[in-house]
């Protein structure tokens, strides 16, 4: 079974990586880009019977820094 975890910086947390992408796109002439936020997408291959609670534990303990990042789980 598969699960997807997306990890994004919380609103209000400075995102220098996204800002660099925005700046680069603007320099390339893509003036329609008003803002960019960059996060992580983690695809997990899991054994059958893995519960959402297990994935929440993985996120809280390793995948996301919950002080500055939020995460979303799709199963």
- 73 lines the binding site for its own copies (CB under 8 A): no
45 touches its own copies by CB under 8 A:
yes
Q: Name the nearest CA neighbour of 38 among 54, 15, 58.
A: 15
Q: How far apart are CA 2 and CA 50, in angstroms?
A: 10
Q: State which of residues 13, 24, 68, 75 lies at the interface with its own copies (CB under 8 A).
A: 24
Indicate the SS3 state at residue 16. helix
Give the C-alpha separation, 42 to 63, whole Å: 8
19 sits near its own copies (criterion: CB under 8 A): no
How near is the Cβ of 67 to its own copies at its closest, in Å? Answer: 19
Residue 64 binds to its own copies (criterion: CB under 8 A): no
């Amino acid at each position: 079974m598969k699960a997807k975890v997306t990890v994004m910086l919380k609103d209000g947390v400075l995102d220098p990586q996204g800002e660099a992408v925005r700046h680069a796109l603007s320099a390339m002439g893509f003036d329609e880009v008003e803002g960019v936020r960059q996060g992580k997408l983690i695809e997990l291959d899991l054994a059958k019977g893995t519960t959402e609670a297990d994935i929440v534990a993985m996120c809280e303990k390793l995948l996301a820094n919950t002080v500055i990042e939020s995460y979303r789980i799709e199963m």
